[in-house]
Amino acid sequence: MSDVVIVGAGPCGISVAIELQREGFEPFIIEKGCLVNSVYHFPLNMIFFSSTDKLEIGGIPFTSVNEKPTRNEALAYFRAVVKHYQLNIHTYEKVVEIAKDDAGFLVKTEKRGNHFQYPAKAVILATGYYDNPHFMQVPGEKLPHVHHYFYDSHPHANQETVVIGGGNSAIDVALDLYRTGAKVTMVYRKQAFDQSVKPWIRPLIESAIEKKRIDMYWESEVVEILPDGVVIKPKDGEKMILPADTVFAMTGYRPDVTFVEQLGGEISSDTGAPVCSEAMETTVPGLYLAGVIAAGHDSSKIFIENGRYHGRLIAKDLKKKNKLEIR
C-alpha cells in the first residue's frame, strides 16, 4: 500500500493517523520533537480551556479529576491513545525538505546527523503554530532574558517581570508570576482585554489590576528592550522605561506554511492561509493540512476541538481517490 506521511505528532496529526488507519492505510508520523511536543512545552501548571470530551480523539475516553484537564493529564492521555492504536511515529526527526515528482512526494529528514528519505503518495502537514512566535521586531527582542514561551514561575520569584500582551496566555503568565511573588507589570497595545479572554480568568486579572497587585499599561507600544528594562510609548504620553529582570513577550504565534509555498501551493493574500478544499487538500495535489496550520493569520479559529475532525475529512478523501492515486 502506498505511503502516507504525516508531519507533526500533535493531537491533530495523531487524529489523522488514526482515521487513515481505520480506512486501511498504513501512515506514519514524523515529529521533530517528542510526542505532542507543543503540549509538552505548555506551562507546567497549565489548565486547558476545553473540557476533556472536546479533546478526545480516536474514540478513546479522556477522564480528569478536574472540570478541565491539566497539561500532565493531557500528556498521559495522548500517550495512551498512541499506544492503543500502535501508531508508527518517528520522534526527534526533523523534516528538512519535501519534494514533489510524478510519483508523489519525497520527504527528506534529518536525525542526529543522519539523513533519511521517505517516498509518499500523500503528505499531511499537521505542524501547528506553537514553534513560531510572532516577533515584535523591536531592538533587544533577542536578548537572553526575553522569552516568548513560559514554563514555570518559580525561577522568577522576587524579580521585576514585564509581560507583553493581553490575551489568555499573557494573563495566565501574569497571574502565575504574581502568585509566586514576582513584581509583575503588563503592557498591552489595546485599551481593554479582548472578549476572547476566558470568562473565569477575566475577573481575576481585573481584580489584580484594580488592587494594584499587577501594574497595567494600556494602549502602550513596546519600543525597545534593554538588558534591565523595557522602553514603552503610551498612546498619550512620553517614552518611559519599566524595570525588568525578565520579559515575557506573549504576543502570539503563527503557522509556518513554508513547505506549502515551496511546493507551489496557493496562499490567500487576505487571510495568509493556504487555499484548501473542503477535504483539507491544498492546491498541490496530494498535500493536505490538518489543524491550525490551515488557519492563516487568525490562529484562534482552529484548535484541538475542531482541528481533530480534519483527519476524518482527509481519510475519506484519500480513500475516494482509489488508494492514493494522486492526479
Q: What is the pLDDT of residues 89-126, one digit of tens each?
A: 999 999 999 999 888 999 999 999 999 999 999 999 99
Q: Cβ(133)–Cβ(146) under 8 Å? A: no
* Same-domain pairing of 125 and 257: yes
* Same-domain pairing of 202 and 103: no
* Same-domain pairing of 242 and 293: no
Residue 286 is placed in which grid cell?
Answer: 496530494
Say which residue the cell 517614552 belongs to: 239
Q: How confident is the model at residue 128 (pLDDT cuts 50, 70, 90)?
A: confident
* Same-domain pairing of 154 and 234: yes
Q: What is the pLDDT of residues 209-248, one digit of tens each?
A: 999 999 999 999 999 999 999 999 999 889 999 999 999 9
Q: How far apart are CA 43 and CA 295, in angstroms?
A: 23
Q: Which pLDDT score, from 0 to 100, does residue 303 have?
A: 62
- Whether 139 is in a domain gets the answer no
- Whether 53 is in a domain gets the answer yes
- Whether 262 is in a domain gets the answer yes
Instruction: With a cut of 60, say whether residue 2 has pLDDT above it.
Output: no
The residues with which 108 forms a beta bridge, in sequence order, are 97, 117
- Whether 263 is in a domain gets the answer yes
* Same-domain pairing of 203 and 236: yes
192-201, 204-213, 282-291, 298-307 — which is least confidently predicted? 298-307
- Whether 138 is in a domain gets the answer no
Domain boundary among 249, 283, 310: 249
What is the chain's mean pLDDT, rounded? 92
Q: How far apart are CA 6 and CA 3, in angstroms?
A: 10
Domain boundary among 249, 274, 309: 249
Instruction: With a cut of 90, say whether residue 130 has pLDDT above it.
Output: no
* Same-domain pairing of 52 and 96: yes
> How does DSSP assign 270-308, residue by residue?
TT-PBPB-TTSBBSSTTEEE-SGGGSTT-GGG--HHHHT
* Same-domain pairing of 233 and 265: no
Counting the structural domains of the chain, the total is: 2
Phi then psi for residue 3, to 5 deg, are: -80, 145
* Same-domain pairing of 122 and 258: yes
- Where residue 239 sits, what CATH number does that domain have? 3.50.50.60
Instruction: With a cut of 60, say whether residue 69 has pLDDT above it.
Output: yes
Q: What is the pLDDT of residues 141-177, one digit of tens each?
A: 999 999 999 999 999 999 999 999 999 999 999 999 9
Domain boundary among 232, 249, 266: 249
- The range of the structural domain enclosing residue 234 comes to 146-249
The residues with which 119 forms a beta bridge, in sequence order, are 106
- Whether 325 is in a domain gets the answer no
* Same-domain pairing of 241 and 262: no
- Whether 81 is in a domain gets the answer yes
Q: What is the pLDDT of residues 131-140, one digit of tens each?
A: 889 899 999 9
- Across residues 1-9, what is the average pLDDT? 84
The residues with which 160 forms a beta bridge, in sequence order, are 183
Q: How confident is the model at residue 189 (pLDDT cuts 50, 70, 90)?
A: very high
Contact partners, residue 163, CB within 8 Å, separation at least 6 = 170, 173, 174, 177, 184, 185, 186, 187, 247, 248, 250
Q: Report the Cα 163 to chain-centroid distance in Å.
A: 19
- Whether 141 is in a domain gets the answer no
Q: Which pLDDT score, from 0 to 100, does residue 304 have?
A: 64
Query: Quick one: CA torsion of 135, 139, 145, 149, rounded to 10 degrees?
Result: 0
Q: What is the pLDDT of residues 10-68, one digit of tens each?
A: 999 999 999 999 999 999 999 999 999 999 999 998 888 788 888 999 999 999 988 88
What is the reported pTM? 0.89
